[in-house]
């Protein structure tokens, strides 16, 4: 959600920035509604002041025995007029609100305009593995090693679900342990949130109403519940922990990480090349999250990217970091860096972490502020999130990177304390 004052004071400036990620934009109606709203509000409030004044008078007049019949009927009329004003006001405000909430975040100044094609690789680490034998893809490997059961996963949940079996589950759990351990070391607070959230959570995160169809909703009895859904990422939960709260400045920054599976419909996004566990309806992810003061959020983003990178480095996987163009960032985010790991069989890089600065976009939607110690003023916090990391592309990457001609796989050293093995043989 953007600040209407920003648009009111500098419509052209905001427009220029937003056009980096939008095709067209017109503020005329919004500004008109804004003027209309303020006029109507002034009118209605004047009437309310009058009503308050007279209502206070009535008991006194009654005690004195004055005739107040005409006064009462006048006030009845005033009341009706107020109601009338407020009804129009409500519809104008609804229009303003729905326009504002549909606007994406303003891209940071250093973010390039346009879509995916303008994403910029800012650095790479490691090298693509070279094989002296015909390498297998992760589906073949995971099947021959008995790590993942795709067929029975589909039997249980449908297409897009799989089962981690035996050592596959051990590997998955080892990855998660590795992440958890690193984040704890860095002083982040470990959160295990509910997986079912209410509508407001999706709204504050900026995912609703636009992407309301991309998540799984719970069917509720008539009038019961409040649009509960299963979370598509732990971010949705983490951003809402402090919804409608004012945080003391001294407590910032707040640094969290959470483990949850992520549940997504991913409707229509399946492609043959994304077989296996590259894209599914449910995947495991550890998510990092920070609430910061505005002046600290740029550095916090660097910190998050650095943390995500060091996790991939620790696994020894070749990756690159891309700064996304404005149009490729999710709507709530003003700046996003993706960490993409090399998947040999796909001959492509795939996202394993997305680190973003939401600036005050989410905190406005969720009404999350902090109180400055000196001025005692409340300001919106900045929110940042970054995967640290999503596992479903790492396991394929690990299998493919570290495979040998005989179908065995070397397990990255950082995971061995949990896997208890160095090499996995078919």
Q: Which residues bind RNA (CB under 7 A)?
A: 4, 38, 41-42, 45-46, 48-49, 51-56, 58-59, 62, 72, 75-76, 78-79, 223-226, 246, 376-378
Residue 5 vs 132, nearer CB to RNA? 5
Residue 49 vs 169, nearer CB to RNA? 49
Residue 14 vs 424, nearer CB to RNA? 14
- What is the closest distance, in whole angstroms, from the C-beta atom of residue 229 to RNA in the complex? 14
Residue 81 vs 112, nearer CB to RNA? 81
Query: Which token pair is 50?
Result: 């009058």
Distance CA 231, CA 264 (A): 8
Rounded-to-10 torsion of CA 225, 228, 234, 239 = -60
Cis preceding linkage at 253, omega within 30: yes
Q: Judge whether 114 and 62 are in contact, CB under 8 Å.
A: no
How remote is the C-alpha of 366 from its chain's centroid? 12
Residue 46 vs 116, nearer CB to RNA? 46
- What is the closest distance, in whole angstroms, from the C-beta atom of residue 58 to RNA in the complex? 4
- What is the closest distance, in whole angstroms, from the C-beta atom of residue 240 to RNA in the complex? 14
- What is the closest distance, in whole angstroms, from the C-beta atom of residue 25 to RNA in the complex? 21
Distance CA 37, CA 90 (A): 9
- What is the closest distance, in whole angstroms, from the C-beta atom of residue 75 to RNA in the complex? 3
Q: In what order do the strands lie in the sheet with 196-197?
A: 196-197, 229-230, 216-217
Closest to 389 measured CA to CA, from 355, 415, 416, 352: 352
Residue 138 vs 364, nearer CB to RNA? 364
- What is the closest distance, in whole angstroms, from the C-beta atom of residue 152 to RNA in the complex? 23
H helix or E strand, kind and range, residue 295? none
Residue 271 vs 377, nearer CB to RNA? 377
**How far is CA 155 from each of CA 150, 163, 299, 404, rounded to the nearest angstrom?**
9, 10, 46, 31
Query: Which token pair is 53?
Result: 């004044």
Residue 96 vs 397, nearer CB to RNA? 96
- What is the closest distance, in whole angstroms, from the C-beta atom of residue 197 to RNA in the complex? 12
- What is the closest distance, in whole angstroms, from the C-beta atom of residue 109 to RNA in the complex? 25
Query: Which token pair is 111?
Result: 């973010």
Residue 35 vs 152, nearer CB to RNA? 35
Residue 46 vs 416, nearer CB to RNA? 46
- What is the closest distance, in whole angstroms, from the C-beta atom of residue 304 to RNA in the complex? 28
Q: Judge whether 216 and 230 are in contact, CB under 8 Å.
A: yes
Closest to 342 measured CA to CA, from 125, 123, 175: 125
For the chain, what's the residue count?
Answer: 426
User: DSSP assignment of 402-423, as one string?
Assistant: TB-TTS-EEPPGGGHHHH--SE
- What is the closest distance, in whole angstroms, from the C-beta atom of residue 42 to RNA in the complex? 4
- N-to-C CA span, the chain: 52
Residue 49 vs 121, nearer CB to RNA? 49
User: DSSP assignment of 121-153, as one string?
Assistant: EEEEES-----SS-PPPHHHHHHHTT-EEHHHH
Q: Judge whether 204 and 328 are in contact, CB under 8 Å.
A: no
Q: Which residues contact 341 (CB under 8 A, 6 or more apart)?
A: 312, 317, 318, 319, 349, 350, 352, 393, 394, 397
Q: Which residues contact 385 (CB under 8 A, 6 or more apart)?
A: 235, 238, 239, 287, 288, 289, 290, 304, 355, 356, 358
- What is the closest distance, in whole angstroms, from the C-beta atom of residue 133 to RNA in the complex? 47
């Amino acid at each position: 959600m953007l600040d209407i004052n920003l648009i009111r004071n500098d419509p052209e400036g905001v427009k220029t920035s937003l056009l980096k990620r939008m095709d067209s934009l017109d503020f005329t109606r919004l500004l008109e509604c804004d003027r209309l709203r303020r006029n109507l509000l002034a009118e209605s409030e004047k009437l309310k002041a009058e009503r308050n004044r007279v209502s206070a008078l009535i008991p006194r007049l009654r005690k004195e025995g004055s005739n107040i019949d005409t006064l009462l009927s006048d006030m009845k009329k005033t009341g009706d007029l107020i109601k009338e004003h407020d009804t129009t006001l409500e519809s104008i405000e609804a229009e303003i609100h729905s326009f504002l909430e549909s606007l994406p975040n303003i891209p940071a100044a250093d973010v390039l305009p346009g879509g995916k094609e303008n994403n910029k690789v800012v650095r790479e680490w490691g090298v693509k593995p070279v094989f002296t034998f015909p390498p297998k893809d992760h589906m073949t490997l995971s099947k021959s090693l008995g790590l993942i059961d795709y067929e029975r996963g589909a039997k249980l949940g449908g297409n897009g679900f799989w089962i981690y079996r035996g050592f596959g589950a051990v590997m998955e759990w080892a990855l998660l342990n590795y992440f958890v351990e690193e984040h704890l070391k860095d002083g982040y607070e470990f959160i295990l949130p509910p997986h079912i959230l209410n509508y407001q959570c999706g709204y504050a995160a900026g995912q609703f109403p636009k992407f309301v169809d991309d998540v799984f909703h719970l069917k509720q009895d008539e009038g019961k519940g409040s649009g509960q859904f299963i979370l598509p990422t732990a971010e949705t939960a983490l951003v809402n922990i402090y919804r409608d709260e004012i945080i003391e400045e001294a407590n910032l920054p707040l640094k969290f990480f959470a483990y949850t599976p992520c549940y997504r419909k991913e409707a229509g996004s399946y492609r043959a090349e994304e077989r296996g566990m590259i894209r599914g309806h449910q995947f495991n992810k550890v998510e990092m999250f920070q609430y910061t003061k505005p002046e600290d959020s740029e550095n916090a983003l660097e910190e998050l990217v650095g943390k995500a990178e060091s996790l991939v480095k620790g696994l020894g996987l070749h990756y690159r970091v891309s700064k996304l163009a404005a149009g490729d960032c999710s709507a709530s985010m003003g700046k996003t860096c993706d960490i993409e790991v090399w998947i040999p069989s796909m001959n492509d890089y795939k996202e394993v972490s997305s680190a973003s600065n939401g600036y005050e976009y989410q905190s406005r939607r969720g009404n999350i502020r902090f109180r400055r110690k000196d001025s005692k003023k409340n300001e919106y916090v900045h929110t940042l999130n970054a995967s640290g990391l999503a596992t479903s592309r790492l396991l394929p990457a690990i299998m493919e990177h570290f495979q040998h001609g005989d179908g065995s796989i070397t397990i990255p050293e950082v995971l061995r304390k949990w896997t208890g093995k160095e090499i996995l043989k078919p």
